[in-house]
Structure formats: structure tokens, C-alpha cells
Structure 1
Amino acid sequence: MSEPSASASIEINASPERVYALVTDLSEIGSWNAECLRARWIGPVKEARPGARFVGGNRNGNRRWSTSCTVTAAEPGRTFAYHVRAAGVLDVAIWRFDITPTETGCRVEQKTWDTRGRFMNIVGGWATNVPDRASHNTANMNRTLQGLKREAERA
């Protein structure tokens, strides 16, 4: 795969299994994620595994939008990735969390690849009020990973 359009990483003093459980618990994603307010599984599969689908509700200031996501990788304690579409059919991005064990817990790297075409670049920038998605995602990833760290290290 090509270089991601944005990425960030953080060291977390929690087990890879705990971090993976948080990343894949859609009911609590809004408590630590910078842009995603909520998410819920849709369809017959209600857990993180390839092919499972979910809807995410996102925000940027007073702008709100939803996306349809399909899980592309789900390796407990290691990787969670999903393909994001708008209106269920228009490519938006691929998002991925990679979790690597360390001596004191794990290192988490969040990456995204912008897969929008020209039309979605224009419409998406207007709809979300984010003209520079790569810079915006990098800042949000750092905030998201800080939130994930707080949640994972909570006793």
C-alpha cells in the first residue's frame, strides 16, 4: 500500500489486547475519538471482523455527517482497519490502527489513506468544513490517540 496521507503514533501503558478492545468497541468510541461522535454495527455481524459493517457519526464544529464503513482487517491485539464511504458508495478513506507490543504496554499507530476522487474532495471539503483533510486528520489523530491513551491507562 502507498504512504498514508496522514498518520500519528503514541506509546500506551496498557496491553495490546486492552487497546484493541477499546478501538473496536463502537459503543464507546465517542469518549476518546476527536472526530467520531458515535458508531454502531449494522447488518448481521456485530463485531470486528473482515466484512463487518458499521455507521459512524462524525463532527467538526457545527458540521455533522455520517459514513458507512466496512472492516477490512481485524486481528485482536494487533490491527483494526476499515474502508469508509459516503452515501454507502462514494470512496472516502481507509483507516487503520496498528498495535505493537512494547516492554511497558504497546505502541499504537493510526493511519489513513485518502481515497476520495475529485468530486468527493470538493463536496467532502465543503460538507465537513475541512479544506485540507491531511493536516486536519493529523491533528485529530494526535488528539484521538491522546484520548485513547487516557482511556486505556485508566485504572
Structure 2
Amino acid sequence: MPTVSQRFWLTTDRVDTVIDASAESLYAMVSDLPRIGEWSPECEGVTWEGEVSTPVVGTTFMGQNAVGPGRRIRYKRHGRVLVADAGREFEFITDEGGRESTVWRYQFQPEGSGTRVTESYEVRWIPVWARIIDVPTNRHKELLENMRTTLARLKVCAEAQHNATNR
């Protein structure tokens, strides 16, 4: 459930699923942001800024996104890695108009023979125009559905990779 706030546009939510793969391998997939377009229905890809082989706290990037009917609305976001704790947590923040906007977090918790992956977001600030558009378009619902899709696609990819490795 979204956090109740006096500022309706400051939303937060999360989804989770159990994936038959190790926390370390899932972390490696998620933190490899240039691959994010393989599972995200909104972020088509990411380009690291500078020479990056493994992201660390402070690493910056540019994300390319597409939303709306037919994914015709395209936009870019700068981002910065906030947490890079291999096998446990990967977190980054994106900016909007030069201000920190949304925190995205992936947490990995071993569960049974697999890993519970939790994806969450927290909107810290968005411009007035976005607040106005977000209400009729129900952006919060869209983000929630996109996170479910992201984790479902990640699950398919990770489990296929896990099964191929363990044959």
C-alpha cells in the first residue's frame, strides 16, 4: 500500500517475488543497469557515465525511458547509485530537473532454495506538471504494475540462467 501523505504525489510502494536463483546472481543482474531493458517495461536501457565495470556508491548513469500509449512518450533521467551491497541491496536515485526525485531499491533475501527479491520506489519530489498529469493517468498504479512486470521478467530470465548453469 502507498504511504499516506499530505502530499498525495509522494508515493512509495513495493512488490516482491521468490526467484529460484542465488541472491548474488540476482544482484549481478539487477545492478547491471545497461541490461534493465530486458525486464523493465519502462526503462529501455541505461548508459553508465564514465568507465564502469561494477557499479559502486556514487556511480552515475543516464536512463532512457518510454511510457504512455504505444510507449510514444520518451524521456531521460540521470541517476546515481546510493547502495551497492552485493547479494543484499542495490539502490539508486533518479533526478528530475536537477533535483533528486525517485529512489529505486532492490533487496535480496535468501528464502528456501531461492531468493525473495523486493523492488520498491519512493518518490521524494516531482515537478508540479508531473503531479497534475499523475492523477488522471494514475501513475502510482502504472508504477506498481511495471514493478510486477519487471520482477516477473527478471524471474523468467534468472531461472532460465540458473537452470542452464545447473544442468
Structure-2-length-normalised TM-score: 0.81
What is the CA–CA distance in structure 1 between the aligned matches of 2:63 and 2:72, rounded to whole Å?
16
> 2:102 is matched by which residue type in structure 1?
A
TM-superposed deviation, 1:124: 6.8
Among 57, 61, 86, which residue is 2:96 paired with?
86
Among 6, 9, 15, which residue is 2:13 paired with?
6
Among 49, 54, 57, which residue is 2:56 paired with?
49
Which string of whole-angstrom CA distances, capped at 9 and with x for unpartnered residues, describes residues 122-149 of structure 1? 24765x9983322111110000000110
Q: Summarize the alignment of residues 134-145 of structure 1 with structure 2, pairs less than 5 Å apart.
A: 134-145=140-151
2:110 matched residue in structure 1: 101
Higher relative contact order (CA 8 A, sep 6+): 1
- Runs of 4+ with >4 A deviation: none
Change (3 A) 1:55 1:12: same
Does the aligned pair in 2 maintain the 1:22–1:28 contact within 8 Å? yes
What is the CA–CA distance in structure 1 between the aligned matches of 2:99 and 2:125, rounded to whole Å?
8
> 1:33 is matched by which residue type in structure 2?
S
2:8 matched residue in structure 1: none
Partner SS for 1:92? strand
What is the CA–CA distance in structure 2 between the aligned matches of 1:71 and 1:57, rounded to whole Å?
16
What is the CA–CA distance in structure 2 between the aligned matches of 1:20 and 1:121, rounded to whole Å?
34
Structure 1 segments unaligned to the other structure (5+ residues): none
1:114 aligns with 2:127: no
What is the CA–CA distance in structure 1 between the aligned matches of 2:129 and 2:109, rounded to whole Å?
36
Among 29, 33, 48, which residue is 1:26 paired with?
33
Among 69, 84, 96, which residue is 1:74 paired with?
84
Partner SS for 2:54? coil
What is the CA–CA distance in structure 2 between the aligned matches of 1:22 and 1:124, rounded to whole Å?
32
Q: Summarize the alignment of residues 53-64 of structure 1 with structure 2, pairs less than 5 Å apart.
A: 53-60=60-67, 61-64=71-74
1:17 matched residue in structure 2: 24
What is the CA–CA distance in structure 1 between the aligned matches of 2:52 and 2:28, rounded to whole Å?
16
Instruction: Report the identity percentage.
Output: 29
What is the CA–CA distance in structure 2 between the aligned matches of 1:74 and 1:80, rounded to whole Å?
5
What is the CA–CA distance in structure 1 between the aligned matches of 2:137 and 2:101, rounded to whole Å?
14
Partner SS for 2:137? coil
Does the aligned pair in 1 maintain the 2:34–2:48 contact within 8 Å? no
Greater Rg by CA: 2
